[in-house]
Amino acid sequence: MLRMADISRERCRTGIEGLDHILNGGIPRGNTVLITGSCGTGKTTLSLEFLVHGALWGERSMYISVTEAPEKLVENMINYEFFDKKLITEKKLILVDLQEIYVKLGLEKLEFTLEDVNILVSQIVKMVKELGVRRLVIDSITSICYRLTSKEQIREFILHLGKELSDLGCTTLLVSELLPSSPGYSQYGVEEAIADGIILLGNMERRGDLLRTLQVIKMRGTTHSRAKYVLDLTSIGVLLAPMLKGGSVEVR
Ligand SMILES: Nc1ncnc2c1ncn2[C@@H]1O[C@H](COP(=O)(O)OP(=O)(O)O)[C@@H](O)[C@H]1O
Ligand SMILES: [Mg+2]
């Protein structure tokens, strides 16, 4: 049975069938969702697939990359059966190097002031508005938060960004990098409290195998399963299967 929360909000289908199923149709449009997990858990891969599906369906998609050069990302995407290079040449999928934005805005510094943060948010919002971006990924938000000097600033930054993007109807994934041993769902503990949703990716050892896992911790605007799923990265995209119980040890 669908509850009120499920029918009242328009959905942004991720195109990852298993995930859309877990979310009862997709991410409520305009949500800001944290994709969190340690290194190698599949955050970048899942986020890119979300954008590629959107672009194929005619929703302009933008990937703001902090840690990896856009050219390298394209190389990785070529492995996908559903990827078409035309998405990039026709600017349906736009790859942006944050380093270049920093240079343009004079933000090549280790620590940002509140003013710097506001300049950065304005620039991102401006690009989204002018280009009509419907899906945005920032990979990673952690590397931006690293330049902020207090939890208060991080809170302000994510709240401000999330509000502006939501008003534009842009659905956003913020990639969050966790240290393998860190408690909670985000590096600074603030990000997880503010985000509309949290999708946790992890590793789990099972009878000598290291499995990738996915769990939706929260998602405002929809009911969803909170069960843990096994995540498989394949050439046809992310596949999710229910986790069989027993014999597993969690390793983040
Ligand atoms: N289509 C695929 N099939 C198999 N393995 C993949 C595929 N795409 C990515 N991988 C592997 O998955 C790993 C994790 O990917 P990535 O998304 O970069 O993780 P994260 O962003 O969480 O660090 C990488 O080691 C990569 O080689
Ligand atoms: Mg990554």
Per residue in 203-226, pLDDT (tens digit) is: 998 888 899 999 999 999 999 999
Q: Where are the alpha helices (DSSP H) in the chain?
A: 4-8, 17-22, 43-56, 70-77, 86-89, 98-105, 114-131, 141-145, 151-167, 191-194
Q: Are 120 and 153 in contact (CB under 8 A)?
A: no
Taking the whole predicted model, whether its pTM rises above 0.85 is answered as: yes
The mean pLDDT of 182-192, rounded to a whole number, is 88
Q: For the domain bounded by 4-251, which CATH number is listed?
A: 3.40.50.300
Q: 195 near 34, Cβ under 8 Å? A: yes
Check pocket membership of 39 for ligand 1, CB cut-off 6 A.
yes
Q: pLDDT tens across 38-96, in order?
A: 999 999 999 999 999 999 999 999 999 997 888 888 888 888 888 999 999 999 999 99
Nearest CA to ligand 1 atom 24: 40
Computed on alpha carbons and rounded to an integer, the radius of gyration of the chain in Å comes to: 17
216 φ/ψ angles, rounded to the nearest 5 degrees:
-90, 115
Report the residue among 44, 45, 200 best suited for mutation to probe ligand 1: largest number of ligand atoms under 8 A from its CB: 45
Distance 225 CA to ligand 2 centre (A): 25
Q: Which of 38, 64, 39 is nearest to 161 (CA)?
A: 64
Residue count of the chain: 252
Domain ranges, ordered by start, for the chain: 4-251
Q: Ligand 2 mean position to 80 CA, how many Å? A: 17
Mean pLDDT value across the chain: 92
42 lines ligand 1 (CB under 6 A): yes
